[in-house]
Amino acid sequence: MNYSRDPPPPYESAANINSAPYPNIGFAAGPYSEPAGYQDNPSDQEPKYNRNGNFTSLQYSDKYVRHLSFERPPVKKWVSKNSWFYYLSYATFLCTYIALVCCPSVRRRYPGNVIALSVFILQVVYGGLAALLFGVFVHHFSIFLSYILSLLCIFVIFFQYLAFDTQHIIGGRELELSAEEYIFGALQLYLDVVNLFLIILSFFGNRDS
């Protein structure tokens, strides 16, 4: 058998490969390769994270201030005597939530998205109060064990929702939010944390009773 005495061809450097007109041609995509269209540029994602975090913090701050105002006796007395305001808050809650979730033009256009989000937060305060009262009513008229098991199941479900929505905001997967969807991301995180907080309050109420 005759072997060629010519030396093997030299390997191209990484600089030459990257500077070619069509880099990485001939290399098959492996199981750990980046998806198509992926750009490793963390600076592009930082504005989206900052906007989501700022809007979520603003939501909780606004809710805390409104909660303090509702604790005043004159306000509580007026709300207890005007039950129609609860129904109005539910209708406004559904309208603003559907508009923010189903209409991209509403949640992407400033300042309409901020106004709709502020109205939504105001209605969540009344809705959360009604949900707590309903939880107390159900607790006194249900079996303790079944109530605890149902709360555990709901807690696990909403915790998975929180992880799912957080992954949407972080990105890097098949499903992710664009930089223009910061209102939608902040809204989803806000609702997930509020639901988890209500479930935790129910747990502590059961333990004290």
Q: Indicate yes or no: pTM above 0.75.
A: no
Which positions ≥6 away from 136 have C-beta within 8 Å? 205
| pLDDT tens digits for range 14-61 | 445 444 444 444 444 444 444 454 444 444 445 544 555 555 555 555
Give the angle 152-147-194 at the CA atoms, nearest 5°.
50
| pLDDT tens digits for range 143-201 | 666 667 777 777 777 777 777 777 777 777 777 777 777 778 788 888 888 877 777 77
Domain borders along the chain are 44-208
**Range 138-175 burial, b when 16+ CB lie within 10 A, else e:** eeeeeeeeebeeebeeebeebeebbeebeebbeeeeee
d(CA 140, CA 70): 26
DSSP for residue 22? S
Please name the residue that has the structure tokens 């064990």: 145
